Structure 1
Amino acid sequence: MSGLERADDEAGYVFRATGAAPDGPPPDLPPAPPWRRFHGGPPQPPPPDDEQAVLRRLGQVDAVPYLDRAGVDLVNAALLLRRPLLVTGAPGVGKSTLAYLLSRELGLGRVLEWNIVSRTTLRDGLYSHDALGRAQAIAAWRAGLRPAPTAGTEELGEAGGPPPALGDFVTLGALGTALLPYDRPRVLLVDELDKSDIDLPNDLLHVLENGSYEIPELVRDRAENAQVHTDDPGRFAEVRHGRVECREFPVVVITSNGEREFPAAFRRRCLPLEMPLPSREQLLAIVDSHLRVRAPGTEGLVDRFVELVEAGGTHSVDQLLNAVHLTTAGTFRADADGRALLDLVLRDLAKGR
């Protein structure tokens, strides 16, 4: 077997794209290449889980074949090389679902979502600083109206105490939280990067290459350490000298609907994955995983959905799930008057209304 052939029996091959959670301890990722090793600190506690979000995305089935062999190979290569995945494909084909698939199979905890719009900047993903809130807190503290809050604690309700800590007004974004020094990588979903301002992919280059960033407000602060809020609800992190560096580079899934081309320097730092529409067997497995029952008429709706797609239409998998649920909930039928409603649910998205 050549060195580039698939090696299912090797320890480095950790992702199967089945959606099955590990039976025991989560698998260890293979060692990173020397040029992708980082040494940030202090170590962060393990992240929280968000099983409800995973269930909404993947359903409850033990194993659904979400990717073909080539796709599974590419994802494992990205895990080995510690490089982001640039996932392209038609809208609704399941690009963002890949992040939740990785989180469940590898036991990596809550997925950090960074949803991109045309106004999004790099700082939005890294952190935010509530300067106005801090100014108001300082004014109240100077007036003796209330004590300074401390990250992770409740106010005492008495005047006095130290001035408000700067870290109490800093909140890390999804990207900034993913780059905290965790012992195991976080999963970061950068959704629809092609909708961003033209400069954002270039602005990401330094962060993707170096696995670190600075918070200028904390760099200028006199305190060496700061407790800041993170993107995980109710969680805090210690930042030293205003600088954050990862210990394990996060598992980054960047999705794009193909609305624009990215700079070559950005593409060089990513591995490209073209996500095809699921096959008939995969669609049936996805429906089963979400609805937990193969109701009469399900296969006919799946066949109809496949025909619409093969005819050149633009359709999303969640349209199929909606159609199946409508006909299996006991309210609508796929024949007679219900046919018009299903046609509306399964309409071609490229044709507007």
Structure 2
Amino acid sequence: MKFQGTSTYVASDSLRLAVNAAITLQRPLLVKGEPGTGKTLLAEQLAQSLDTRLIAWHIKSTTKAQQGLYEYDAVSRLRDSQLGVDKVHDVRNYLRKGKLWEAFEAEERVVLLIDEIDKADIEFPNDLLQELDRMEFFVYETGETVKARQRPIVVITSNNEKELPDAFLRRCFFHYIAFPDRETLQKIVDVHFPGIKGELVAEALDVFFDVRGIPGLKKKPSTSELVDWLKLLLADDIDLAALRERDPAKAIPPLAGALVKNEQDTQLLERLAFMARRGTR
């Protein structure tokens, strides 16, 4: 089955091609792009389109590669041995399976998401090279090798906060999700808000791209923030005239907190408005 997107996820031709190429090559799909462009959502929708289970491993700065395989709780075993608990004789009772182990032992082919891999230590990707390549790993405590029953479809996301090692990149199929053009954003809006007035969308997109185009903006608003903003505009029944306002002295759009997410960018909009007001005096 080929991935074609879903009724709730608009995938570009290049993204569909990348997903299907990674599946054909049996390589992890490494997806980069601006935050909010749908990288994590891609894995969720891929699992839905293939009618299979999603196993998500969300990476933090403290996450270690070993945690994706398994963790051995030696402290609990020591405590149980002191208390004379029967299960202490079987070390398997103290192994906590990680997301890779869960994906490897699944009877069906699942989608394994390794989300925001660049948050972890620089050595994290290299520590998973063999396991993702061979689809197996060794459990030292039991002397067994865990092999994937069905090779999972692996989706790895990155916000490009760190450079990933070349050895890791060689084993992946790479795709960069470019920021959607206006036509694609229109399709995304139509998916989320069927029946929304075309005039409102047109004006909202004008404002949205105006904000994204402001020089010096620290964080440009993303696709997900556009969706949130439109939801608020509809909920608050914002007058269309408020969006059509193009007075530079009113540089901050209504409900801007959905689009602008830090004080630096808010102050930038306020300075632009202040300078515009001074210029009209």
Same fold by TM-score greater than 0.5:
yes
Q: Aligned equivalents of 1:120 and 1:271: distance in 2?
A: 23
- 1:201 is paired with a residue whose SS is helix
Partner of 1:324: 230
Give, in angstroms, the shift of residue 105 of structure 1.
0.9
> RMSD across aligned C-alpha pairs, in angstroms?
2.8
Partner of 1:347: 260
Q: Aligned equivalents of 2:78 and 2:201: distance in 1?
A: 59
Q: Aligned equivalents of 2:253 and 2:186: distance in 1?
A: 23
Q: Aligned equivalents of 2:29 and 2:89: distance in 1?
A: 41
TM-score, normalising length: structure 2: 0.78
User: Which structure is higher in helix share?
Assistant: 2
- 1:137 is paired with a residue whose SS is helix
Q: Aligned equivalents of 1:292 and 1:14: distance in 2?
A: 26
Q: Aligned equivalents of 1:105 and 1:186: distance in 2?
A: 12
Partner of 1:301: 204
Partner residue of 1:172 out of 89, 97, 111: 97
Partner of 2:3: 15
Give, in angstroms, the shift of residue 164 of structure 1.
6.0
Give, in angstroms, the shift of residue 82 of structure 1.
0.7
Change (3 A) 1:331 1:124: farther
Matched residue type, 2:69: L
Partner of 1:199: 123
- 1:98 is paired with a residue whose SS is helix
Change (3 A) 1:190 1:258: same
Give, in angstroms, the shift of residue 333 of structure 1.
5.3
Change (3 A) 1:195 1:64: closer
TM-score, normalising length: structure 1: 0.64
Give, in angstroms, the shift of residue 129 of structure 1.
2.3
Change (3 A) 1:325 1:136: same
Matched residue type, 2:130: H
Change (3 A) 1:71 1:136: same
Give, in angstroms, the shift of residue 167 of structure 1.
2.5
Cα displacement string for residues 203-255 of structure 1 (whole angstroms, at most 9, x for unaligned residues): 11111111011222222xxxxxxxxxxxxxxxxxxxxxx32110222111111
Partner of 2:273: none
- 2:156 is paired with a residue whose SS is strand
Is 1:257 the counterpart of 2:159 in the alignment?
yes
Change (3 A) 1:300 1:169: farther
Is 1:121 the counterpart of 2:64 in the alignment?
yes
Matched residue type, 1:216: Y
Give, in angstroms, the shift of residue 75 of structure 1.
1.3
- Segments of 5+ residues of structure 1 without an aligned counterpart are 1-12, 20-61, 149-161, 220-241
Change (3 A) 1:100 1:131: same
Is 1:284 the counterpart of 2:228 in the alignment?
no
- 2:39 is paired with a residue whose SS is coil
Q: Aligned equivalents of 1:332 and 1:174: distance in 2?
A: 45
Matched residue type, 1:215: V
Is 1:79 the counterpart of 2:4 in the alignment?
no
Partner residue of 1:209 out of 121, 127, 133: 133
Partner of 1:38: none
- 1:297 is paired with a residue whose SS is helix
Mapped contact 2:122–2:162 kept (Cα < 8 A): no
